[in-house]
Amino acid sequence: MLKKILAVLMLFSLVATVAPSVDQASAAGTSYLVKINSGTLNVRKTPSTSAGVVTKLSKGQEITVSSQSKGWAKITAKGKQGYVSSKFIAPKTNAAKKQLAVSNANYKAKAISVAKSNLGVKYLWAGYTPKGFDCSGLVNYSYGKSGISLPRTAAEMYTKGTKVTSYQPGDLLFYATSGGKKVTHVAIYIGNGQMIHSATSKGVSIASLNNSYWKNRFIGAKRI
């Protein structure tokens, strides 16, 4: 009898040693999506908010989760490993991807709608209200009304999001109006080869991407 009890105890001990936790088993090698409302998600060196930042992830970015424990997920993204808060990620499912796509379309459509509602508002350097907008002020205000927080200047905005070469309505377009490669102007792509922006000459207005002035000063586009 004693031998049987010892054998059972040894079996349980072996299972406990080799079997991963429920969190680990369910998350190992699983594709997840970043689910944040705005800004970026910090990937930390260790599972702590005070740990150094390895890299930053954007909304909807796909990551691989190897384990989860105590509210933190060990992940791989952009070829780097680290930890993120589990509450800011969700399993990659068809439903999740569809919901994310709808959410993205909704806030971008609202940002465009807000910008269009301010057509004709005069250009005002450092302006960020309907009393007057500069280029980044219009973008910041329009996206802010749709629930997305963006940096204040065009150059800072250019450091966010994902670079794209095929544009969708709501993508941000960046220009170097002073020559060179320094970003000094930002606009919102609204589809059909057009953008809405606050220009010094016309205020909040719509322009063609093929306009020779803007085409020659184009730097790149970002998807937020």
Confirm whether 135 is a catalytic residue.
yes
Gap between the Cα atoms of 191 and 184, Å rounded = 22
Confirm whether 197 is a catalytic residue.
yes
b/e code 129-167 from CB counts within 10 Å (16+ = b): eeebbbbbbbbbbbbeebebebeebbbebbebbeeeeeb
In angstroms, how far apart are the furthest CA atoms of the chain? 94
Confirm whether 8 is a catalytic residue.
no
CA 121 to the chain's CA centroid: 29
Tokens 């204040």, located at residue:
152
Backbone φ, ψ for residue 49 (5° rounding): -70, -15
Q: Choosing from 135, 172, 173, 188, which is the catalytic residue?
A: 135
Residue 10: partners with Cβ closer than 8 Å, 6 or more residues away: none
DSSP code of residue 48:
S
Provide the residue count of the chain.
224
Q: Choosing from 44, 59, 197, 223, which is the catalytic residue?
A: 197
| Number of CB atoms found within 10 A of residue 61's CB | 17
What does each C-alpha distance from 2 to 5, 8, 96 come to in angstroms?
5, 10, 53
Q: Please list the active-site residues.
A: 135, 185, 197
